[in-house]
Amino acid sequence: MTQVQQEQSSLTEFLQAQRRSVLAIVEGLGAEQMRRSVVPSGWSVLGMVGHLTDAERHWFESVIAGSVDTPVDDESEAIDGPFASDLPVDEVISCYRNQTARSDKVLADTSLDAAPVGRVWPKADEIHTVRDVVLHMIEETARHAGHLDIARELIDGRTGLGPR
């Protein structure tokens, strides 16, 4: 395995580990618990998983591959409110799993050194390569896994869930 292949493999493994943490943290919560906000800003566990799904779609399909037009911007949140969802829990979780599989396919088919094909927004001043996108998504997923971990503790007292 070349050094570049090793790097791509390592970055993919770190991203997948964070995604597994997200799923492990929310596993076992009921629909009401998934929809309940336990923080003043109003986001729910289910809404956060939906946000992560949208982020995966945006960064991997729109930005890296240029294949999907997904409007992801801070203004839409201000209009629609915090991350929340009325969709069925199983549908949101399934969409997240399916989207991460599609994201992995895009990543497997694209060089880390490649420039994104789609419009880089936000973070145009920071994102110049696929590697930058992957690092951003590791950061984004880990950050929100931490949020979910705290929410889970506030909901039912469970802590230390997930592989990391």
pLDDT digits (tens, 9 = 90+) for 44-76: 999 999 999 999 999 999 999 999 655 444 433
Q: What is the pTM of this model?
A: 0.92
Residues contacting residue 126 through CB under 8 Å, at least 6 positions apart: 132, 136
CB-CB contact of 11 with 19 (8 Å): no
List the structure tokens of 33.
Answer: 């618990």
Checking if the pLDDT of 94 tops 80, the result is yes
pLDDT score for 83: 92
Per residue in 12-31, pLDDT (tens digit) is 999 999 999 999 999 999 99
Residue 41 lies in a domain: yes
Q: What is the rounded end-to-end Cα distance, in angstroms, of the chain?
A: 26
Residue 70 lies in a domain: yes
Q: How confident is the model at residue 82 (pLDDT cuts 50, 70, 90)?
A: confident
pLDDT score for 95: 97
The boundaries of the domain holding residue 117 are 3-156
pLDDT score for 162: 82
| Average pLDDT over all residues of the chain | 92
- CATH number, domain containing residue 63: 1.20.120.450
Q: How many domains does the chain have?
A: 1
Q: How confident is the model at residue 163 (pLDDT cuts 50, 70, 90)?
A: confident
**Rounded CA gap, 37 and 40, in Å?**
8
**Rounded CA gap, 97 and 128, in Å?**
27
Look at phi and psi of residue 160 and say left if phi exceeds 0, alpha if psi is from -120 to 50, else beta: left
CB-CB contact of 65 with 138 (8 Å): no
pLDDT score for 164: 67
Average pLDDT (122-133) is 96
Residue 164 lies in a domain: no
Residue 76 lies in a domain: yes
